[in-house]
Amino acid sequence: MKNNVKMIRIMTVGFVMGLLLVSNIYGQTGTGTIPKIVEKNGRHALLVDGQPFIMLGGQAHNSSGWPGMLPQVWMAIKTMHANTLEVPIYWEQIEAQPGKFNFSLVDTLLKQGREHKVHLVLLWFATWKNGSSHYMPEWMKREASKYPNLTGRNGQPVDSPSPHIQAAMEADAKAFAAVMGFLKKSDTQHTVLMVQVENEPGSWGSVRDYSPEAQKLFEGQVPSELLKPDVLKSLNKPADSKGTWHDVFGENADEYFHAWSVARYIGYVAAAGKAVYPLPLYVNASLRDPLKNPPASTYESGGATDNVIPIWKVAAPAIDLVAPDIYMPGSEQALKVIELYDRPDNPLFVPETGSSQEYARYMYDVFARGGLGFSPFGIDDNGQGASEAEITARLEPIAQEYTMIEPMMRELAKWGFDGKIKAVVERDDHAEQTIDLGSWQAVVSFGTSGRRSEQTNTRPIGKAMVVKLGENEFVLIGSLCHFTFHPLGSNTGKAWQYLKVEEGKYENGTFNLLRIRNGDETDWGGPRFGALPAVLHTTLILR
Ligand code: DGJ
């Protein structure tokens, strides 16, 4: 009898602890703490239940936010081991009748997110979706004269909304505020972590609006907010510049005017929503080549491309961050983009990218910088009837990483926020890279390796992270790479060795040992990582 009581007590304590652990990983404890972004020494963290959190995300296809499509979406999320689903919500569905709001789809998403213990980032597809206005409700589409598109340089119609239409802006702001009001009321569990306002706003096909109203504004004075010396400096203009858009910004005037106009509009919509419920809000950007300074006519003008981030910051203070959608072929460009969007005034978040191993490697750079999250686009099969096995195979590169990170997500988030992580990503030239760790330099080469020889990776998909826990103590994480070390400073050239290399997993705050790696697994310089990512708790010693 006594034993039974003891057993029940143990089981009850175990159950409660289990619940706490599950809630620690997924949040949604209903503690009443709203997700928020904090900053420390120029680094950022997304706090969920009061602690740094990394969104291991996956984004559904554009038309997959409907109940009949969601089973495939959840299957993809599960197979990826994602903790966050990014999913669109549609203005045309939410406000099909003017002023009458229908939140049934949002409600379904909230309920199913909780059932699957997965957080949500909602994407407000409204005035802008990839530069066009195709998610505007039907009643607005039918009133083109009240809600017009912009006019091209030669007077031609362009399939992109004008950012100068007060009625459209007010309508969008009203609907967005209603969405945020619904979340405030219905999401006390904080299933929703962030909301994306619009989707890749800006314009394809015209650098700006050339309608008579827009032209009048363009010929007016640049607003005083943009004429502050620090803002002008960040845009490479003299600190005392003033006058018209052309006077101040010269050849960039058309694009900068459009960026200001689009950002002001979205800033207004965001502020209306934030006043109701202050969740973190962001805007995603279709990118330009970050290395070549191309003309704005070759990319989506007016969006938050790297060159106009300072304009977006001034024009839309209710937007917490602008985020790059990374679909770039080359490692130099992609890594440059990550660097450019990781700013003291802009938390890093990659809300869209590809799901191949080439894209998965960038996750390491993002998390080392204390990024808030990472998410491949189009995770579900988009109604094509793919089998679970096919979806699983497609998402395998991301799933491998998320499976390894998921149980240590809270540690990684904290280490990233504290600046303890450094990462290297295999570049397209496969070159060896070094990481300065204070008393030690880590040297990382990429490839699959036998005991003494290395075979270069055929594709540039290797990656490595080092977490500095102490002067001689590191967590090494990686795949398809090989580590070695050199003592630095006054110890340069001295003999050294591995005191211990432990392979295992961080689970709920504890490192659980799988094996001690030694012999072939650490000789010839140091540990090798194969195709499957691994976590090594490593201590070095001078001899
Ligand atoms: C980027 C957009 O933001 C997504 O909604 C989607 O249209 C993808 N492009 C398609 O590649």
Dihedral, CA of residue 245, residue 250, residue 254 and residue 259, to nearest 10? -70
- Between CA 477 and CA 403 the distance in angstroms is 13
The 10s digit of each residue's pLDDT in 81-112 is 999 999 999 999 999 999 999 999 999 999 99
Measured in Å, residue 378 CA sits from the centre of ligand 1 at: 8
Q: Which atom of ligand 1 is nearest to the CA of 377?
A: 8
- Ligand 1 center–CA 359 separation, angstroms: 15
Nearest residue (CA) to ligand 1, atom 11: 377
Cβ neighbour number for residue 442 with a 10 Å cutoff: 23
Residue 286 CA to ligand 1 center (angstroms) comes to 9
Report the C-alpha gap between 320 and 223 in whole angstroms: 22
Instruction: Identify the residues whose C-beta falls under 6 Å from ligand 1.
Output: 62, 130, 199-200, 325, 352, 377
pLDDT of 383-395, one tens digit each? 998 999 999 999 9
Of all residues in the chain, the percent with pLDDT exceeding 70 is: 93
Residue with tokens 């977490």: 467
Nearest residue to 311 (alpha-carbon basis) of 268, 264, 271: 264
Which position has the token pair 């191309």?
A: 294
Ligand 1 atom nearest residue 62's Cα = 5
pLDDT digits (tens, 9 = 90+) for 371-418: 999 999 999 999 998 999 999 999 999 999 999 999 999 999 999 999
Handedness of CA 32, 34, 35, 39 (dihedral sign): negative
Distance from residue 144's CA to the centre of ligand 1 (Å): 25
CA-proximal residue: ligand 1, atom 6 (nearest): 62
Q: Ligand 1 centre from 353 Cα, in Å?
A: 9
pTM of this structure: 0.94
**pLDDT tens-digit map of 158-180:** 999 999 999 999 999 999 999 99
**Do residues 58 and 86 touch, judged by C-beta distance below 8 A?**
yes
Could you give the CA distance from residue 136 to residue 91 in angstroms, rounded to a whole number?
6
| Distance in angstroms (rounded) separating the CA atoms of residues 447 and 458 | 8
Question: Euclidean distance between the first and final Cα of the chain, in Å?
Answer: 59
**Counting atoms of ligand 1 from 1, which one is nearest the CA of 88?**
5
Question: Which of 352, 355, 375, 382 has most ligand 1 atoms within 8 Å of CB, for mutation?
Answer: 352
- Please say whether the beta carbons of 15 and 6 come within 8 A: no
pLDDT of amino acid 22: 43
Say which residues have a Cβ less than 8 Å from residue 6's Cβ, sequence separation at least 6.
none
Tell me the best of 128, 199, 286, 326 to mutate to test the pocket of ligand 1, counting ligand atoms within 8 Å of each CB and taking the most.
199
**Are 78 and 406 spatial neighbours (Cβ–Cβ below 8 Å)?**
no
- Cβ distance 537 to 502 under 8 Å? yes
Contact 88, 66 (CB under 8 A): no
Q: How many CB atoms lie within 10 A of CB 236?
A: 10
Per-residue confidence (pLDDT) for residue 455, from 0 to 100: 87
Say if residue 181's pLDDT is above 70: yes
Query: Sorting pLDDT into bands at 50, 70 and 90, what band is 244?
Result: very high
Centre a 10 Å sphere on the Cβ of residue 247 and count the other Cβ atoms it contains: 12
Extract long-range pairs of 183-189: CB within 8 Å, 24+ residues apart: 183/106, 183/122, 183/277, 183/279, 184/276, 184/277, 186/103, 186/106, 186/107, 186/110, 187/110, 188/30, 188/32, 189/28, 189/29, 189/30, 189/114
Give the pLDDT confidence of 113-161 residue by residue, as tens digits. 999 999 999 999 999 999 999 999 999 999 999 999 999 999 999 999 9
> Residue 466 C-alpha to ligand 1 middle, in angstroms?
33
pLDDT at 194: 98
| Protein residue whose Cα sits closest to atom 9 of ligand 1 | 130
Distance from residue 171's CA to the centre of ligand 1 (Å): 24
At residue 31, the pLDDT reads: 59
Measure the CA–CA gap between 91 and 147, rounded to whole angstroms: 15
pLDDT band at 453 (very low <50, low <70, confident <90, very high): low
CA-200 nearest atom, ligand 1: 3
**Which residue's CA lies nearest to atom 5 of ligand 1?**
62
Query: Is the pLDDT reported for residue 25 higher than 70?
Result: no
Q: What is the pLDDT of residue 290?
A: 98
Report how far ligand 1's centroid is from the alpha carbon of 132 (Å): 12
Residue of 89, 132, 196, 200 to test ligand 1 pocket, by largest number of atoms within 8 Å of CB: 200
Distance CA 48, CA 186 (A): 17
Q: Is 50 exceeded by the pLDDT of residue 355?
A: yes
Q: Which two tokens stand for residue 68?
A: 């009949």
Cα 241 to averaged position of ligand 1 atoms, centre (Å): 37
Tell me how far the alpha carbon of residue 531 lies from the centroid of ligand 1, in angstroms: 29
Provide the pairing of β-strand 440-446 with 433-436: antiparallel
Amino acid at 523: D
Q: Ligand 1 center to residue 199 CA distance, Å?
A: 8
**Partners of 161 in the β-ladder:** 149
4-24: average pLDDT: 41
> Which residues, in sequence order, are CB contacts of 117 under 8 Å at separation 6+?
22, 26, 28
d(CA 533, CA 460): 15
* Among protein residues, the one whose CA lies closest to atom 8 of ligand 1: 377
Q: Of ligand 1's atoms, which has the minimum distance to the CA of residue 199?
A: 3
Strand partners, 423: 465
Report which of residues 16 and 319 the model is more confident about. Answer: 319
Atom nearest to 123 CA in ligand 1: 5
Does 28 or 510 have the greater pLDDT score?
510
Residue 197: its pLDDT value, please?
A: 99
Spatial separation of the C-alpha atoms in residues 399 and 405, rounded to whole Å = 10
Mean pLDDT for 214-223 is 98
Q: Residues 4, 9, 10, 11: is their CA dihedral positive or negative?
A: positive
* Spatial separation of the C-alpha atoms in residues 150 and 163, rounded to whole Å: 8
Contact between 393 and 74 under an 8 Å Cβ cutoff? The reply is no
Return mean pLDDT, the chain: 94
State in Å: Cα 86 to ligand 1 middle: 12
